[in-house]
Each structure stands twice: as structure tokens, then as C-alpha cells.
Structure 1
């Protein structure tokens, strides 16, 4: 074939290639990008010519080997599917990032543990992201924050609903919001508004960029087969490449088609350019050098310990491979793509292993959360019997709740189930707690009624002038107040103030009166002290009748002085001792002497104005009467042992004297009791 014929044949082939529509590109190896070429199954390659005789001669061997080859074929198919899945994941990620020229900034924003944050913390994080970051870079962060915030708010709202219903509310009347929810909604609204504005503008720009790129492709198609000078064609091609680089992102759903079509026509142009090998080979060589560097970097990334960083850079390498670097000579295309794919596969395997490790962590988190749920259930199953117990359990539930949210994420397949189990057990506890406090509130309202009755008694008596009758009443209602349990918190301070004010008012009046009385009592003490000293130094004249009159005069003077302070009543005992000494010098009966002294005691009881003190004195006297009677009975019984003994016997005489002494004492006790009962 002549050179002219060869040239014509090549031109016809080129024209046929450039006329391929975009949806038929996958029909030939030449129409694929390097990415797609690497995925062409070996079964699609043209088989070598084999004669019928050769086929017949090997048919039996082929049948025997078919079974043995099946596992290998399955492995190859599985490996191919995995590679396809990895490549699809990369392509999708690249297509998504292609819409955002600053996508690399998105990957630099930390994805924090939003699950462990409280609602106020989530609001602060959302506000910071919306204020400081580009709206297109925080979609995943905002969605994660919203999911966690909604879950926590739902839990809080369920609790408020339970409380509302427990208090007798109707479900149709229930509505709950909170300042933190309103703040979150406001920030989230700003985010959506910014996001919508951004994507509306982006949509317009993407469409313009798509039209620009399609126009460049049409120009590129028009260059193939043109009769212009090759140098001029190559120069124009380079200009088109520069325009292509600056054309901007296109819609992600059009990304793959646009780039595949572009690469298809670029390869056609290079095939057409073989007429001038110098330009083509120089470009092929440059592209090969660039792609070998990218392969080397991908192999380095396969050893990178930061898996997310490695995957993001791998995306960039694939994007550069696809968008920035042109084709290489055909004899290198399959080989370098295989190397690049192998490094890509290794990074994906590392990534899968990383995810497997994360799954193990999530499984451990699941165990922790299940234990927390069991601990909550154990608390929820217990009956609440006191306010202190309820408060302790509330603190425990709150602590377990915090632990639950800080325990980390669980496998996605059990996430909803775990969350529902947590909520249900917390809800069970809250229902028991609410039921307890509902009953407690009923009891508190009963207590409120009782205390209000005491308040009315206190207020009715606070100005009463009859201190003798009123003081026991006021003391009794104070004692009753302490025995009544709690009242509703909203009423507690108010009724306590009313009760306290009424009691204080009364006792302040009582103390004022008693302080005045105490002044008189102190003066009485000073007088009795002087009289006590005078009685001690009193000298009897030896005339019993006159001496008795003198002693009675001192007793009358003592009684006339009146009451002394309670803490100084010891002076009464001292005076009685002096009287004992004086009476011992007189020939006077024991009973008479005792009764004269007891007059002082009776007067002191009367002046004390204390019914309980009089009751104690009366009880004491009755006890003494009983004891004395028992003593007399015992002594008389003992006398039966001396029935045959003469009364002149010293022992018998002693027993008889003892009996007589006890009888006199008995008469004295009875006389004292009669005096006390007369008060």
C-alpha cells in the first residue's frame, strides 16, 4: 500500500472514530477512559483463532478442567466485582467533590463525637459551623448534629409529656418547646437558607460550565481529521485543554459522561496526531512521567496510617489521573493502570480493615450500652418508697444517661433497637417516679390542710391575754406542726411564714410579761436571801410557844416575799433545812413541822402556774403513800413472827416504833396530797 493510500485509510478510520455517539463509547477499547479500560473483562477480548480439529481434540480435557477452573473463575469474578465497587465508590466521591472546587477544605473540618454532646453543646457546635465554615462543606456535620439533637429533644419531650399526663392533662392540649430548641431551629433555618441560596447559584453555574465543556468537546471533534497544519492543530489542542481546565465543575450526574466523552475524543486526537509522531510522543512521554509519579504516590499512601487522609488523597490522584493528565502510549496504558489500580486496591483494603476495627469498637460500645440499659432497668424495676430514695435514683439515672451518650456509637443495624430499649427503660422509671410524686402530692395537700388549721389556731390566739390557758395551746400546735409531713413546695414558705409570725408574736408578748415578772422575782430572791441569813442566826428563847410563833412569823414573811426565778429556787431547800434545825429545838410533832414547811412548797407550786409541775408533785405524793402503806404492811406481817414474844423485848419494841413512825409519815403524805389537790 502506498503512503497516500495509508494516509487515506487512517483518515477514514479517524473519521469513523470521531463520529461515535457518546452512548456508544463503551463498544470499543478506544472509546474508554483509562479507568474504564482497566475494568474490561478478559472475556470481552477477541479469542485467538482455533481450528475445529484443535477444539475437538481438547474438548474432553476442557470438560475435565472446567470443574477445577470454577473456583478460580469465581475468585476472579469476586475480585473484579470488588474492584468495580471500589472504583464506583471513588468515581461517586470524585463526582460529588467535582461540584465544589474547594472540596478539600471540607475534609479538614473535624467530625466530632456529637453523640456524646448535650443539647446546649450541639447548639454551640452548629452555630460555630454555620458562622465560620462554607455552607457546602458542613452538610454531613449538620445532619449528624441534627440527628443527635432531635433524638435528645424527643427524649426530653417524652418526659415532659409523661409529666403533663400524670398531672391530669389531656394529650390534645400538650405542647412543648424550650429556649434551646428555639435557638437550634433558628440557627438551622439560617443554615438551610444559606444552603438553598448556594445550591441555586451552583446549579446555574454548573449548567453554564456543562454547556462550555460540551462546546469544547465539539471543537475538539471538529479538529480531528481537519486538514490544517499539525503544528497548528496541536497548538489549538493545547488551548482547548487550558480552556477545559478552567471551565469549572459540572453537575455530578453528568460528570462521568462529560469526562469519558472528552477522553474519548482526546485519544482520537492523539491517534490522529500519529501523523506527526514528534508532538504526540512528546506529550505521551510527559503524561507517562506524571502518571508514574502518581502511581508512586499511591503506593506510598498504601502504607499511610491515617486511613481517611490516604483515601482523600487517593481521590485527588484519581481526579488528577482523570482530569489533568492526558493519555499515554497504548503499549503502557494497561500496565500503568494495573499498577495504579493495585495501589488503589491496597488502600481500599486498608480502609475496609479500618472500618472493621471501627465495627469492633462499636460492638464494644454496644456491650457498654446494653449494660447501662440493664442498670437503668434494674433501677426502674424497684418501687419508690421515699423522697430521698427517688432523688438518689434520679441522680443514678442521670449519671447512667450521661454514660450512655458518652459510650460512643453502636453498629448501625442495632442502633435504633438500642436507642428504643434505652428510651423505654428510662420512660418506665419516669412513670414510676411520676406516680410516686403524684401520690406524694396528694399526701402533701392533706398535710397542707392540717397545717392551715394550725395556722388559724395560732393567728386566733396570738393576742390572747390569758397566758396560763393559751401557752399550752401554742406549745401543742408547735409540736403538732413538726409531726405533720411536707406540703407542696409552692405553699411551704408562705404558710410557714404565717405560722411562725403568729407564734413569734405570741411568745414575744409572753416573754415581755415574764421579763417584767423576772425583775420582781430577782428582787424576791434578794429579800429571801437576807431572810435566810436572818433565820440561820435566829436564837430561840427556850419558850416553845413563843419560839413556835417566831418560827411561824419567819415562814409567813418568806411566803409573803413571793416567787423567785426558776434557776434560783434552790433557796427554798436551804430555808427548809434551817427550819428543820429550828423545829428540832422545839417539842413539836413531826407531822406539824413537816406541814408548816410544806406550805412553802405549795405556795411555790401555785405561783409557778405550771399544771404539769403540780401533776408531777401529786404523782410523787401518791407514790410515797403507796410505798409507806407497803412498808407498814410488811412490818405488821413481820410482827406475826413475834406473837409469843413479850412486847418488852427490845427487838419487838423497835419494830413497833418503826410501824408508828411510818403511820405518822403516811398521815403526813396524805395531808400534803390534800393540800396539793386544793390548788
Structure 2
């Protein structure tokens, strides 16, 4: 090795030593943020467009195959970006499958809200592979950290030996070959822990500078190297200045790290220019780093805000009291809350890396539990509604069997009872609710409409009967009571009695009044015409018995008829007597009813006496 080579190497190492103190603060900040950015990008979710593009190239099977391959590779070969994208592609495909399953479920006539997805075995396999990959990556990181610690110890040993050679001022030139070997060894050693990186570079460069300060080299060669290094560093400064206004802050920061690496590789410049050039480069780096720091601080603030919003959404769903959702409306209102929460979740960005996946798992768990409970509720509800449909169908059949009945009072009571039973039965499915209710209502409406028509006809009939009876009363008032017209008046009287009995019912409010008026006129006419119903009847009966006295069989048949009539009258009398014992008089209308009952009992008693007399007459003829 000649003096020129020795000088060039010396200048290069001196440049490394000069650059470290100037960039140590910036590198320390940059190093810390670089680690954070790398973690974020590896765990960031793929955009909708990227996932859609991946989904066209992958199937679930190919995703699983790729994950299997990755899980079998070494941890250093695992790309978190690729694993994250594969996971998102799988979720996108699974989402499309679930949408298709739900649509098929709805097309079969089911309620969309009752849909519950079937488990996917490949999804479970994916989770297992992800765990394997995660563990391998973690093991690799542990191994990498161990290697970094070993590298740190080796580099510290190199620095210690460099410092020892620098202290031997009399033999610096003799140590130069070993110096180069140590410098090359230091560069070939791998990474050290990020927290020690700045300190180890600073110590190394200080040791190199101490060594070069003791090394006497050719000044011309040093000046040549200084000029060459100055040109390189000026270009690095110019390129760094372009990064100040770059739109992509992350890209600008990463490019700045590359420029810092090249700055370290470049040799030193003239001593009078070192501070000036480093200050320019450091100031530009500070601007880029400040923008980068502001970007991540803003992102952290947004992530913190998103974390709070996502936590609030989780709590919103978790606080829904499922036990209080007892009807369809309550479940639908709660479902709207869940769907709104899911829409709001999609609009939110990421939370911090350490909690984002936990929050999503918590949110998904709360949603799954709600929809599982809802599906169970509606399955149970459909079973209950089916039972209710059977019960209401039975009530419809009963109502349809009763709708043509003319026993208005009894049937109306039965319809009221059926309506109470209907209200006591729970709801049926909405698709059948209107039809089954209309069927029941049609039967009830038909009956009550017929009853209404009948009541209207009955009222008209009663009014017509009232007019007829009023006419009979008026005719009784006008009936001639002269002796010369006695026979015709009696005949007309009896005819009017027959017409009265055939006239039918009058309105209830007029019943007592019209009957009293009729009875008063009838009694008046009866007394005036001296018509004894018993005497007249007995005369006719005696005449008839005389005609059949020669025919014993006819007499026996007549006696049987009279005996049956007598028993019937006695039974009727007993019934009236029993009813009279339970009857209480509390009003004028009650007095009228009492008088009517007494009048009927007197008439029955007269009939009993007449029938007994007729039996005695027949018995005398038979003997």
C-alpha cells in the first residue's frame, strides 16, 4: 500500500467520524420513528381497491396455500405486508360469500334480520396459520434482538481497540493496516439495538477521528479527497432540500434516511467547511423530520380519537339489554342501532396498533352476540306464532260455524267470548296476521250484521203489531153492546181476541200499557155481553159428550185427552206458584207483572176446575 491509498482511506474514515456527531440527534429521532412507521405499515389494512384487485387473483384455497408456504418459511423471510394483504383478501372473499348466503336465505322467504352465518372451517385454518406465522416472526425478532446485542458488544470491542491504537502516537502508521481491518469489521457487523445506534456511531467516529488526528498524510491527497467529498455532500444537500416540500411525508422521510446513509459513507471535507455543510444538511433534515413527526403526532391524535369512538360504539352495543327486547318492534329498533353503529365503525379510521385489533374483536363479538340472540328470539317467536296460528284458525272455524245462527242473544255472547280468547292469544306471523284476522272478523261482522238487520225487522214488526193492537183496542171501544147486536158483537169480540193473539209482540216499553188498555176494554165488553166462557164451553162439551155416549172408545179417548190436559194445567200452575215465591216487587212495572201472573193463575185454576168437571161427566157416562 502506498501513501496515496493510505491518505484516501484516512480521509474516508475521518469523514465518517465527522458526520456522526452532527447527525446523532437527527438519527436518534429518525430511528425511533422509523420503527413506528414500519410497524404501522405492516399492520395497515388494505384499501378497498387493493383488496378487490387481490380478490380477483386469489381464492380462499390459494390464500390458505400461500399462508401455509409462509408459515413453513424462516421468520426473516416473512413479510407482514403480504400476510396482512392475504388476510384482507380472505375477509373480502368471505364477506362476498356471506352476502350471497344472506341473499339466498332471504330468497327462501326468511327474514333478513334472522340470518345467522354458518361457520367456515377455512377461516379457522387461516387463524391457526396466522398464529404460526406470528410466532415465527416473534421468534425471529427475539433472535434479531439477540444478534443486535452481540453486534453491539463486538462493535464496542472494536472501538476500544481503535482508541488503544490512537493512544499509541509513536506507532500510528504501523497500526494503519489493523485500523483498516477494524474499520471493515465494524462496517460488516450487523445492526445494533436502535437505542444504542447513535451512541455507538458517535463513539466509533470519535475513535476514528482520534486515530486520524495522529496520522500524518500527504496534504495534497487530503485536499483532493476533501474536494471530491464536498461535491458529493453538496449534491446530497440539494436532494435533501427537494424533500422539504414533498407531498408524501413518509416517502420523504425514508428518502432522507437513505441520504443520511450516503452522507455517512462520504468522506470528510475541509475542516473549515465541515460545520457549514453539516449545518445546511442538518437544517434540511430537521424540516423533513419535523413534518414527519407532525404527521405521526396528528395520526396518533386521530388514532386516539378513533380509539375513543370505537370504544364508545362497543359500549353502546354491549349496553343493549337483550332481556328487555320482548317484541318485534323492540328488536328492530335495536337492530337499527347495531347497523348504524356498524356504518359508523366503517367510517372511522384505525386506532393505535396495540388496541385496534382488540377493539375490532370486541366490536365483532358484541355484534355477533346480538344477532345470535336475535336469531334465537325469532326462531322461538316463529314457533310460538305457529302455535298461535293454529289456535286462531280454530277460533275462525268456531266463528264461521256460528255466523248463520239466529239465536241472537246466545250467539252474540259466544262471539264476545271468542273475541276475548282471540285477544288472549299472542301474535302470528305478519304475513298471515291480516288474513287470519280478516277471516275471523268477516265471520263476526256477518253475524252482527244479520243480527242488526233482524233487530231492525223486529222493530218494524213490533211497530206494526202495536198499530194492529191499537186498532183492536179502538174497535173494542166502538163495539156495539146493544142486545140486538149481541150475537154479532160476541162473534166480532172473539175474532178480535184471535187477531190480538196473532198480532205478535209490541215494543217492550209499550207492552204493559197496551195490554192494560186491551184488558180493560176486553173485560168491559165481556161483562157487558154477559159471556161466561166456562158456562158456554161446558154447554158445548155436554152436547158433544151426548153425541158420543154410544161409542165407548171415543169416550175413553176423550177422557185420555182431558186427563193429559188436566195434568199439563196442574204442572203449569205449580210452575207459576214456584216462580211467584221467588218474585220480588220493587216497581210499578213489577206490580203489573205480578197482577198479570195472578190473572194467569186464576185462569189456569178455572181451567183445572172445568177439566175436572168434564172428567166427572165422562166417567158418569162410561159407568
Scaled to the shorter chain, the TM-score interval is: 0.3 to 0.5
- TM-score (norm: length of structure 1): 0.41
Query: Computing the radius of gyration over CA atoms, which structure comes out larger, 1 or 2?
Result: 2
Indicate the structure whose relative CO is greater, using CA pairs within 8 Å and at least 6 residues apart.
2
Query: What TM-score does the superposition give when structure 2 sets the normalisation length?
Result: 0.44
